Every structure is written in C-alpha cells, then in structure tokens.
Structure 1
Amino acid sequence: MVRLPLTRAEVERGQRLGALLRRARGETSMLSTALDAGVSPETLRKIESGRVATPAFPTIAAIADVLGLSLDALWAEINQSDGGVEPARSDRHAGERLVS
C-alpha cells in the first residue's frame, strides 16, 4: 500500500493537535497519560510533537478521554487555522473509559 504525502493542511492540523494535547496534559507526565490511554509513550510523544500528523481515531479518542477533552471541541479546534479556543472538557471523569 502506497501512502500519499500529507498536504500542508494535514501537517498543520497535526501540529495543532499536538499542541492542544500538550496543553491539556499540563503537568501530568507523558508516561502516565500514555499508559492510561493504552498507547505507548513514544506514540504520544510523536503525536504531541506533530511527527504523526494523522493518528488513528481510536488513539486520539483514548488520549482525549484520559485528558477529559471533548472530541467535538478537539475536532473544532484542530480544524481552525488560528487554533485560538481552549478545548472544552467533557463531563467524564478522567478514570472513566469510552464504551464501544
């Protein structure tokens, strides 16, 4: 399978996503956030640094759940060119998991 190069917009969206997740994580360690989300710390580091511009939806959903972020607000923010709004926290408690 050949993967097409990312567009500039996709790269910029990935950078906004990474910055948003870093801000939302705050002082919480990358290791504990990653483990709570069920992803590797390396994966979280790559997403936060913008090196993975198009992470899988389940990965982002799990990280957002751990950080208490609303997926709707996260999506709205990363798709804005200025990225100036703070993401809304969900009503979930950080320990609750999404049920599929």
Structure 2
Amino acid sequence: MMLLIVPLYFGTFYLGPTFAMVQGLVEVRMRAIAAAVLLFVLNLIGLGLGPQIVGIVSDLLTPIFGIEALRYALMAVFLGNLWSAFHYYIAS
C-alpha cells in the first residue's frame, strides 16, 4: 500500500494545469460547461477506454507471454502515460 502513495500523488499533477488551460480558453459564461465536458471526457477515457485497451493488449500478448501478458499490457499502457507527461512538459 505504501508503494502506491508516490504514483497516486504524482498521478494527479496534470489536473491543475489542464483545468487552468480549459478555464483560460473559454469565455467566463462557459467555464462550468467546459469543466463538465473535460471531466466527462477524462472519465470516459480513463474509466471506459483504459481497462478496455489494457484487456485488448493483454489478449494480444497472451500467445507470446502467457500468464505474464497482463503485466506487460499494463507496462505498455504506462508508456502512453510517459508520452503524455513528456508533452505536458514540452507545453509548459
């Protein structure tokens, strides 16, 4: 459980700049709708597509890695997180 503290702490760092950017790009009267749409899209991708993509990658890797396919599927999806973190760094 203690090993999850660091990823959970750093895993939410993108939310502040993301909401600030969205709030800065829209008009004042549209900020609530923009925040709601952003939360909807984040949850749709994170809770909807995330497990689906991990499952598909795991199924594709099962003939190669067998029972360890889920481990490598999670690592492959994590590389997408590193890619997005790199782009957040470039944008800052």
Q: If the TM-score is normalised by the length of the shorter chain, which range does it land in?
A: 0.3 to 0.5
Q: TM-score w.r.t. structure 1 length?
A: 0.30
* Larger helix proportion of the pair: 2
Name which one, 1 or 2, has greater alpha-carbon Rg.
2
